[in-house]
Amino acid sequence: MTTKQRRPQTWHIPLIRVVLSGRGLPRVFSSAGNRSRRTLRLLFASEYRISKIALSFVLLTACFCSAQVSLAGSDAGVPHIKNAKLETVASSGALRQQIEGFASRQNGTAWIGYMVPAVESHRTICCSEGGWQDRGCCGMCHLESEHNNYSGSRDDCDDAEQKNVAVLYRVEDKKIDNVRLFSENCAIDAGGLPVSVITGVDSRQSVAYLSTFVTSDDTHLGRRAIDSIAEHEDAAADAALDRFVTADHSEKIREHAAFWLGVARGQHGYATLKRLIESDPDDHFRDKLTFPLSQSRVAEAQDELIHVAKQDSSSRVRGQALFWLAQKAGKKVAGVITDAIENDPDTDVKKKAVFALSQLPDHEGVPKLIEVARNNRNPVVRKQAVFWLGQSNDPRALDFITSVLEH
């Protein structure tokens, strides 16, 4: 994965080019409403059409206007926070020291956070107030209420591919007790609390700090830290998740990290899952890997799942692979499931394969279930097929069951 290094927010020419390209332009939140990205791009473009002499003057005098330049730089990486005692500060030194220093100065609840480049994805980490909003993806996110926060996907959202993600830490009793994550297009209500936003944070420092909350035990804070790490674009996130799936951590932590390797980490995540499912000594953990493997968008992931369903030494793992394969349509998948019914040596795996047929989308498995119920030599398997036909509510299944009862 290519790692994009985010430069410090300065007034150099490269920053001007980035602003003009429209990448990372913030939405302007005010009582008058949001200003469109197109308007902002045109505004910057028109302002760029100045003479070389005028541009030289702007650059020369910028050093005398550092406060204004700092504000302009931070706008590209500041979450859309309202109703807050808000301060914006530049990243300086070690991120951990900067956050913990802020926490030590608080006398009550407060939040501190930043934005970093997000892994390529069309997921929107959003907030709902009764459902998706008619325009855009996000409702108002309330920092102190997690009941309306969820992740979803839509292709018709404004800026469906999110370039940045906001990571916010909750401070209580001078310690971090929660981490929350928001897509860059979300409006966030802080409920009048103090919020400190750090600009120019290095993604690698962010991953390293979040990793400190992931211990050998399964904790809420550790899980939220893993969620946040997984959304970082930087390759440091891959390395961190690889550490969390080792046997040094609890099974729950390993499973949680494995989930994100499949869902968010592309080719690297697939390679790690493949290695684990083929070599980890713990069959119980390996059967949990079938789900994230089924969620990977890497083309080879389905073939690996088929290989596991056919060849894995554990009947438990083969059965789970069949179950998750059943969630995918297609003749190839149906053929693998049918093959397991006919040829797997374990009756429990055969039963799981029958169930998998019943789970194929759009009742694709009904004809095969009828065939199994009629012709399979194993009476346990035939009985299982009849049972799942009865649960299908498919007219073809009802006709078959009626004909069996009549004869």
331-336 — which CB contacts under 8 Å span 24+ positions?
332/306, 333/302, 333/306, 333/360, 334/360, 334/364, 334/365, 334/368, 336/306, 336/309, 336/310
* pTM for the full predicted model: 0.74
Per-residue pLDDT for 224 more than 50? Answer: yes
Q: pLDDT for 37-66, tens place per residue?
A: 333 333 233 333 333 333 333 333 333 333
Where is pLDDT greater, at 341 or 27? 341
183 — pLDDT class (breaks 50, 70, 90): confident
Per-residue pLDDT for 242 more than 90? Answer: yes
CA pair distance 398, 247, nearest whole angstrom: 49
Per-residue pLDDT for 88 more than 80? Answer: yes
Per-residue pLDDT for 289 more than 90? Answer: yes
CA pair distance 114, 169, nearest whole angstrom: 9
The CATH fold assigned to 310-407 is: Leucine-rich Repeat Variant (1.25.10)
Residue 4's nearest CA partner among 230, 202, 238, 234 is: 234
Task: Estimate the share of the chain in helix, then strand, then coil, as percent rounded to the nearest 5.
Answer: 50, 15, 35
With residue 19 as reference, give the H or E element that holds it. helix 13-21
36 — pLDDT class (breaks 50, 70, 90): very low
Number of residues that this document lists for the chain: 407
Backbone φ and ψ for 222, nearest 5 degrees, come out as -65, -40
For residues 376-399, average pLDDT: 90
CA pair distance 168, 190, nearest whole angstrom: 11
Q: Which residue ranges make up each domain of the chain?
A: 13-75, 310-407
For residues 169-190, average pLDDT: 92
Where is pLDDT greater, at 378 or 60? 378
Q: pLDDT for 100-116, tens place per residue?
A: 999 999 999 999 999 99
Per-residue pLDDT for 208 more than 80? Answer: yes
Residue 257's nearest CA partner among 68, 281, 267, 247 is: 247
Mean pLDDT rounded to a whole number for the chain: 78
For residues 345-364, average pLDDT: 90
Q: What is the pLDDT of residue 161?
A: 63
Q: What is the pLDDT of residue 206?
A: 97
Lowest mean per-residue pLDDT among 3-12, 79-88, 163-172: 3-12
